[in-house]
A and B are shown apart, each in its own frame.
Chain A
Amino acid sequence: MTFTEKQTDPTAPMHWRGDMQADYFYPNGVAGDKFFKHLMEKDSFLATKCKKCDKILFPARLYCEDCFEEIPDEDWIEVPAAGTVRLFTVATINAQGKKMEEPKVIAMINIDKTDGAMLGIINTKELKRDFIGVNVKAVFRPKDKREGTLKDILYFEVV
Protein backbone atom coordinates (compact mmCIF):
# COMPACT_ATOMS: atom_id res chain seq x y z
CA MET A 1 0.00 0.00 0.00
CA THR A 2 1.39 3.38 -0.85
CA PHE A 3 0.90 6.84 0.58
CA THR A 4 -2.48 8.41 -0.13
CA GLU A 5 -1.14 11.63 -1.64
CA LYS A 6 1.58 12.89 -3.91
CA GLN A 7 3.56 16.07 -3.75
CA THR A 8 2.43 18.27 -6.67
CA ASP A 9 3.39 21.80 -5.62
CA PRO A 10 6.78 22.66 -7.18
CA THR A 11 7.34 25.50 -4.70
CA ALA A 12 6.97 23.23 -1.67
CA PRO A 13 10.20 22.82 0.30
CA MET A 14 11.98 19.60 -0.66
CA HIS A 15 15.11 19.56 1.46
CA TRP A 16 16.48 20.66 4.76
CA ARG A 17 20.12 21.70 4.62
CA GLY A 18 22.62 21.22 7.38
CA ASP A 19 26.04 19.93 8.24
CA MET A 20 27.78 17.71 10.75
CA GLN A 21 30.29 19.61 12.80
CA ALA A 22 32.80 17.77 14.86
CA ASP A 23 36.55 17.94 15.34
CA TYR A 24 38.60 14.85 16.05
CA PHE A 25 41.62 14.15 18.13
CA TYR A 26 43.07 10.71 17.39
CA PRO A 27 45.79 9.62 19.80
CA ASN A 28 48.32 7.67 17.75
CA GLY A 29 48.04 4.80 20.23
CA VAL A 30 50.62 2.97 22.28
CA ALA A 31 52.38 1.58 19.20
CA GLY A 32 51.77 4.66 17.11
CA ASP A 33 53.13 6.98 19.79
CA LYS A 34 56.38 4.99 19.87
CA PHE A 35 56.62 5.02 16.08
CA PHE A 36 56.00 8.73 15.69
CA LYS A 37 58.15 9.78 18.63
CA HIS A 38 61.02 7.85 17.01
CA LEU A 39 60.26 9.64 13.75
CA MET A 40 60.58 13.02 15.46
CA GLU A 41 64.19 12.20 16.37
CA LYS A 42 65.45 9.98 13.56
CA ASP A 43 65.08 9.65 9.79
CA SER A 44 64.10 6.00 9.96
CA PHE A 45 61.04 3.83 10.65
CA LEU A 46 60.25 1.31 13.37
CA ALA A 47 58.70 -2.07 12.65
CA THR A 48 57.60 -4.92 14.93
CA LYS A 49 58.53 -8.57 14.63
CA CYS A 50 56.03 -11.24 15.60
CA LYS A 51 58.01 -14.12 17.12
CA LYS A 52 55.23 -16.60 16.43
CA CYS A 53 54.82 -16.12 12.69
CA ASP A 54 58.17 -14.39 12.00
CA LYS A 55 56.51 -11.54 10.08
CA ILE A 56 58.03 -8.09 10.33
CA LEU A 57 54.92 -5.97 10.69
CA PHE A 58 54.75 -2.50 9.23
CA PRO A 59 53.07 -0.20 10.27
CA ALA A 60 54.39 -1.15 13.71
CA ARG A 61 51.72 -2.53 16.02
CA LEU A 62 51.16 -3.55 19.60
CA TYR A 63 50.07 -7.04 18.60
CA CYS A 64 50.06 -9.32 15.57
CA GLU A 65 46.46 -9.51 14.37
CA ASP A 66 46.89 -12.98 12.91
CA CYS A 67 48.57 -14.67 15.87
CA PHE A 68 46.87 -12.36 18.38
CA GLU A 69 50.03 -12.13 20.47
CA GLU A 70 51.39 -8.95 21.99
CA ILE A 71 54.77 -7.79 20.71
CA PRO A 72 57.21 -6.88 23.51
CA ASP A 73 59.52 -3.84 23.42
CA GLU A 74 62.57 -5.93 22.52
CA ASP A 75 60.94 -7.03 19.26
CA TRP A 76 60.76 -3.51 17.85
CA ILE A 77 63.37 -3.01 15.12
CA GLU A 78 64.65 -0.01 13.22
CA VAL A 79 64.32 -0.16 9.44
CA PRO A 80 65.29 2.31 6.72
CA ALA A 81 62.71 4.90 5.65
CA ALA A 82 62.86 3.59 2.12
CA GLY A 83 61.31 0.97 -0.09
CA THR A 84 60.16 -0.24 -3.47
CA VAL A 85 57.00 0.79 -5.28
CA ARG A 86 54.43 -2.04 -5.40
CA LEU A 87 51.57 -0.14 -7.03
CA PHE A 88 50.96 3.45 -8.08
CA THR A 89 48.51 5.77 -9.76
CA VAL A 90 48.59 9.29 -11.12
CA ALA A 91 45.86 11.23 -9.32
CA THR A 92 44.28 14.15 -11.13
CA ILE A 93 41.39 14.97 -8.79
CA ASN A 94 41.58 15.86 -5.11
CA ALA A 95 39.64 14.50 -2.12
CA GLN A 96 36.67 16.77 -2.89
CA GLY A 97 36.53 15.58 -6.48
CA LYS A 98 37.93 18.76 -8.00
CA LYS A 99 40.66 18.75 -10.64
CA MET A 100 44.07 19.48 -9.18
CA GLU A 101 46.41 21.95 -10.82
CA GLU A 102 49.24 19.44 -10.81
CA PRO A 103 48.59 15.71 -10.88
CA LYS A 104 50.19 13.69 -8.07
CA VAL A 105 51.79 10.25 -8.16
CA ILE A 106 50.40 8.19 -5.28
CA ALA A 107 52.12 4.89 -4.53
CA MET A 108 51.89 1.86 -2.27
CA ILE A 109 55.49 1.37 -1.18
CA ASN A 110 56.88 -1.90 0.21
CA ILE A 111 59.08 -0.77 3.08
CA ASP A 112 62.56 -2.33 3.03
CA LYS A 113 63.30 -5.12 5.51
CA THR A 114 59.60 -5.48 6.47
CA ASP A 115 56.60 -7.46 5.24
CA GLY A 116 54.48 -4.33 5.14
CA ALA A 117 53.86 -1.25 3.05
CA MET A 118 52.55 2.28 3.24
CA LEU A 119 50.90 4.87 1.03
CA GLY A 120 53.01 7.82 -0.01
CA ILE A 121 53.25 10.59 -2.57
CA ILE A 122 56.20 10.42 -4.94
CA ASN A 123 57.63 13.85 -5.63
CA THR A 124 58.34 13.68 -9.34
CA LYS A 125 57.66 15.37 -12.66
CA GLU A 126 57.77 12.11 -14.64
CA LEU A 127 54.01 11.51 -14.84
CA LYS A 128 54.26 8.96 -17.64
CA ARG A 129 56.88 6.75 -15.96
CA ASP A 130 56.15 3.18 -14.82
CA PHE A 131 57.17 3.32 -11.18
CA ILE A 132 56.62 -0.34 -10.31
CA GLY A 133 59.76 -1.77 -8.73
CA VAL A 134 61.43 1.64 -8.47
CA ASN A 135 63.39 2.35 -5.25
CA VAL A 136 62.24 5.39 -3.29
CA LYS A 137 63.20 6.98 0.01
CA ALA A 138 61.29 9.24 2.40
CA VAL A 139 62.00 12.97 2.69
CA PHE A 140 61.15 14.48 6.05
CA ARG A 141 60.27 17.85 7.53
CA PRO A 142 63.20 19.50 9.31
CA LYS A 143 63.55 17.92 12.76
CA ASP A 144 62.56 21.03 14.66
CA LYS A 145 59.29 21.21 12.73
CA ARG A 146 58.22 17.60 13.23
CA GLU A 147 54.99 17.13 15.20
CA GLY A 148 54.57 13.39 15.51
CA THR A 149 52.08 12.78 12.69
CA LEU A 150 52.23 11.27 9.23
CA LYS A 151 52.76 14.74 7.79
CA ASP A 152 56.31 14.67 9.19
CA ILE A 153 57.00 12.63 6.05
CA LEU A 154 56.79 15.23 3.29
CA TYR A 155 56.93 12.80 0.36
CA PHE A 156 59.02 10.04 -1.20
CA GLU A 157 61.74 10.58 -3.79
CA VAL A 158 63.19 8.27 -6.40
CA VAL A 159 66.62 7.10 -5.27
Chain B
Amino acid sequence: MAEEKKYEGYPKYAPGTHVSTKDITERKITYTWWEPEVQYAWSLGPAMSRFLQELKAGKIVGKTCNKCDRVIVPPRMFCEYCFGPTGEWVDLKDTGTVETYSISYLDPDARRIEEPILIGVISIDGASPQHGFMHYFGEMKPEELKIGMKVKAVWKPENEREGSITDIKYFKPLKGGEE
Protein backbone atom coordinates (compact mmCIF):
# COMPACT_ATOMS: atom_id res chain seq x y z
CA MET B 1 0.00 0.00 0.00
CA ALA B 2 1.11 3.60 -0.49
CA GLU B 3 2.67 5.46 2.43
CA GLU B 4 0.06 5.82 5.14
CA LYS B 5 0.27 9.32 6.51
CA LYS B 6 -2.01 9.55 9.51
CA TYR B 7 -4.38 12.50 9.69
CA GLU B 8 -6.41 13.88 12.52
CA GLY B 9 -10.03 12.90 11.97
CA TYR B 10 -11.51 10.80 9.20
CA PRO B 11 -10.52 9.61 6.67
CA LYS B 12 -7.48 8.63 8.75
CA TYR B 13 -5.33 8.04 5.72
CA ALA B 14 -5.62 8.32 1.94
CA PRO B 15 -4.71 5.01 0.26
CA GLY B 16 -3.86 5.19 -3.42
CA THR B 17 -0.75 5.74 -5.55
CA HIS B 18 -0.52 8.83 -7.72
CA VAL B 19 0.73 8.33 -11.26
CA SER B 20 1.95 11.33 -13.24
CA THR B 21 1.99 11.74 -17.02
CA LYS B 22 5.79 11.36 -16.82
CA ASP B 23 5.42 8.01 -15.05
CA ILE B 24 3.42 6.89 -18.06
CA THR B 25 5.59 8.31 -20.85
CA GLU B 26 8.75 7.05 -19.15
CA ARG B 27 7.05 3.68 -18.59
CA LYS B 28 7.72 3.70 -14.87
CA ILE B 29 4.50 1.75 -14.49
CA THR B 30 3.23 -0.99 -16.77
CA TYR B 31 -0.08 -0.57 -18.53
CA THR B 32 -2.23 -1.99 -21.27
CA TRP B 33 -3.41 0.10 -24.19
CA TRP B 34 -6.70 -0.48 -26.04
CA GLU B 35 -8.39 1.23 -28.99
CA PRO B 36 -11.92 -0.06 -29.35
CA GLU B 37 -13.73 0.31 -32.68
CA VAL B 38 -17.46 0.60 -32.31
CA GLN B 39 -19.83 1.65 -35.08
CA TYR B 40 -23.45 2.61 -34.69
CA ALA B 41 -26.55 3.05 -36.81
CA TRP B 42 -29.07 4.76 -34.54
CA SER B 43 -32.74 4.46 -35.47
CA LEU B 44 -34.13 7.92 -36.14
CA GLY B 45 -37.74 7.14 -35.46
CA PRO B 46 -40.60 8.77 -37.38
CA ALA B 47 -40.26 12.19 -35.72
CA MET B 48 -36.55 12.74 -36.27
CA SER B 49 -36.79 11.22 -39.71
CA ARG B 50 -39.34 13.85 -40.80
CA PHE B 51 -37.47 16.64 -38.98
CA LEU B 52 -34.28 15.84 -40.90
CA GLN B 53 -36.14 15.52 -44.22
CA GLU B 54 -37.65 18.96 -43.67
CA LEU B 55 -34.26 20.42 -42.75
CA LYS B 56 -32.98 19.13 -46.09
CA ALA B 57 -35.86 20.99 -47.72
CA GLY B 58 -34.86 24.15 -45.87
CA LYS B 59 -37.58 24.13 -43.24
CA ILE B 60 -37.82 23.74 -39.45
CA VAL B 61 -40.88 21.81 -38.30
CA GLY B 62 -42.42 21.12 -34.93
CA LYS B 63 -45.24 18.99 -33.56
CA THR B 64 -48.21 19.92 -31.39
CA CYS B 65 -49.24 18.40 -28.13
CA ASN B 66 -52.92 19.20 -27.92
CA LYS B 67 -53.32 18.17 -24.30
CA CYS B 68 -50.50 20.40 -23.06
CA ASP B 69 -51.30 23.05 -25.66
CA ARG B 70 -47.74 23.40 -26.83
CA VAL B 71 -45.81 23.32 -30.08
CA ILE B 72 -42.72 21.23 -29.58
CA VAL B 73 -39.40 21.49 -31.34
CA PRO B 74 -37.37 19.29 -31.73
CA PRO B 75 -40.45 17.25 -32.62
CA ARG B 76 -41.25 13.99 -30.90
CA MET B 77 -43.79 11.21 -31.21
CA PHE B 78 -44.93 11.45 -27.61
CA CYS B 79 -45.10 14.28 -25.10
CA GLU B 80 -42.86 13.60 -22.12
CA TYR B 81 -45.08 15.64 -19.79
CA CYS B 82 -48.57 14.24 -20.37
CA PHE B 83 -47.19 10.99 -21.82
CA GLY B 84 -49.62 10.92 -24.71
CA PRO B 85 -48.95 10.81 -28.47
CA THR B 86 -48.24 14.16 -30.11
CA GLY B 87 -50.56 15.59 -32.78
CA GLU B 88 -49.99 17.52 -36.01
CA TRP B 89 -46.89 18.69 -37.80
CA VAL B 90 -46.44 22.46 -37.86
CA ASP B 91 -44.18 24.54 -40.08
CA LEU B 92 -42.10 26.90 -37.96
CA LYS B 93 -40.13 30.00 -38.89
CA ASP B 94 -36.38 29.87 -39.19
CA THR B 95 -35.95 32.79 -36.83
CA GLY B 96 -35.76 32.73 -33.07
CA THR B 97 -34.47 34.15 -29.80
CA VAL B 98 -31.21 33.43 -28.00
CA GLU B 99 -32.03 31.67 -24.71
CA THR B 100 -28.44 31.20 -23.60
CA TYR B 101 -24.98 31.00 -25.17
CA SER B 102 -21.29 30.44 -24.58
CA ILE B 103 -18.14 31.75 -26.23
CA SER B 104 -15.79 28.81 -26.41
CA TYR B 105 -12.01 28.96 -26.62
CA LEU B 106 -11.92 25.18 -26.66
CA ASP B 107 -12.59 23.09 -29.71
CA PRO B 108 -14.56 19.82 -29.45
CA ASP B 109 -11.37 17.93 -28.43
CA ALA B 110 -10.68 20.42 -25.64
CA ARG B 111 -7.77 22.02 -27.55
CA ARG B 112 -7.29 25.77 -27.34
CA ILE B 113 -8.33 27.91 -30.32
CA GLU B 114 -7.74 31.57 -31.05
CA GLU B 115 -11.03 32.37 -32.79
CA PRO B 116 -13.81 31.42 -30.39
CA ILE B 117 -16.73 29.21 -31.35
CA LEU B 118 -20.10 30.83 -30.58
CA ILE B 119 -22.67 28.27 -29.44
CA GLY B 120 -26.04 28.53 -27.76
CA VAL B 121 -29.69 27.56 -27.50
CA ILE B 122 -32.22 29.26 -29.78
CA SER B 123 -35.95 29.11 -29.16
CA ILE B 124 -37.70 28.95 -32.53
CA ASP B 125 -40.47 31.38 -33.55
CA GLY B 126 -43.74 29.52 -33.99
CA ALA B 127 -42.99 27.00 -31.26
CA SER B 128 -43.91 27.35 -27.60
CA PRO B 129 -41.69 29.63 -25.49
CA GLN B 130 -38.28 28.19 -24.63
CA HIS B 131 -38.66 25.42 -27.20
CA GLY B 132 -35.73 25.15 -29.56
CA PHE B 133 -32.35 23.54 -30.04
CA MET B 134 -28.63 24.10 -29.79
CA HIS B 135 -26.71 25.63 -32.68
CA TYR B 136 -23.81 27.86 -33.66
CA PHE B 137 -23.89 31.62 -34.09
CA GLY B 138 -22.12 33.46 -36.89
CA GLU B 139 -21.73 36.80 -38.65
CA MET B 140 -21.37 38.53 -35.32
CA LYS B 141 -18.64 39.47 -32.87
CA PRO B 142 -18.63 37.68 -29.48
CA GLU B 143 -19.52 40.96 -27.72
CA GLU B 144 -22.72 41.27 -29.77
CA LEU B 145 -24.14 37.99 -28.50
CA LYS B 146 -26.84 38.61 -25.88
CA ILE B 147 -29.59 36.60 -24.24
CA GLY B 148 -32.90 37.75 -25.74
CA MET B 149 -31.36 38.72 -29.09
CA LYS B 150 -33.28 37.87 -32.27
CA VAL B 151 -31.52 35.61 -34.76
CA LYS B 152 -32.14 33.98 -38.13
CA ALA B 153 -30.88 30.70 -39.57
CA VAL B 154 -28.32 30.73 -42.36
CA TRP B 155 -28.78 27.62 -44.46
CA LYS B 156 -26.35 25.64 -46.57
CA PRO B 157 -27.08 25.80 -50.31
CA GLU B 158 -29.74 23.25 -51.31
CA ASN B 159 -27.34 20.92 -53.08
CA GLU B 160 -25.16 20.68 -49.97
CA ARG B 161 -27.93 19.84 -47.53
CA GLU B 162 -27.94 16.24 -46.34
CA GLY B 163 -30.79 15.95 -43.87
CA SER B 164 -28.89 16.91 -40.74
CA ILE B 165 -28.94 19.61 -38.05
CA THR B 166 -25.86 20.97 -39.83
CA ASP B 167 -27.98 21.84 -42.90
CA ILE B 168 -28.27 25.07 -40.96
CA LYS B 169 -24.78 26.57 -40.89
CA TYR B 170 -25.42 28.93 -37.97
CA PHE B 171 -27.81 31.62 -36.75
CA LYS B 172 -27.03 35.26 -37.50
CA PRO B 173 -28.40 38.48 -35.98
CA LEU B 174 -31.85 39.35 -37.30
CA LYS B 175 -31.76 42.90 -38.59
CA GLY B 176 -34.92 45.02 -38.42
CA GLY B 177 -37.22 44.45 -41.41
CA GLU B 178 -35.85 40.99 -42.14
CA GLU B 179 -38.05 37.99 -41.67
* A–B contact at 8 Å CB threshold (below): yes
Majority secondary structure of chain B interface residues (helix, strand, loop or mixed): mixed
Interface residue A70 (Cβ < 8 Å from any Cβ of B) = yes
Majority secondary structure of chain A interface residues (helix, strand, loop or mixed): mixed
Interface residue A68 (Cβ < 8 Å from any Cβ of B) = no
**How many Å lie between the Cα of A22 and that of B37 in the bound state?**
8
Which among A9-17, A45-53, A85-93 touches the partner chain? A9-17
Give every chain B residue within 8 A of A16 (Cβ-Cβ). Answer: 41-42, 44, 48
Give every chain A residue within 8 A of B29 (Cβ-Cβ). Answer: 27-28, 33
Interface residue A149 (Cβ < 8 Å from any Cβ of B) = yes
Cβ A148 vs Cβ B49 within 8 A: no
Cβ A14 vs Cβ B17 within 8 A: no
Interface residue B78 (Cβ < 8 Å from any Cβ of A) = yes
Q: Which residues of A (26-41) have their CB < 8 Å from a CB of B?
A: 26-28, 30, 32-33, 36-37, 40
Give every chain A residue within 8 A of B77 (Cβ-Cβ). Answer: 3
Cβ A26 vs Cβ B31 within 8 A: yes
**How many Å lie between the Cα of A7 and that of B51 in the bound state?**
13
Query: Given A14-B49, A15-B41, is A23 in contact with B35 using a C-beta cutoff of 8 Å?
Result: yes
Closest to B35 in A: A23
A residues bordering B, Cβ < 8 Å? 1-7, 12-20, 22-28, 30, 32-33, 36-37, 40, 70, 147-150
B residues bordering A, Cβ < 8 Å? 1, 17, 19, 24, 27, 29-44, 46, 48-50, 52-53, 77-78, 84-87, 163
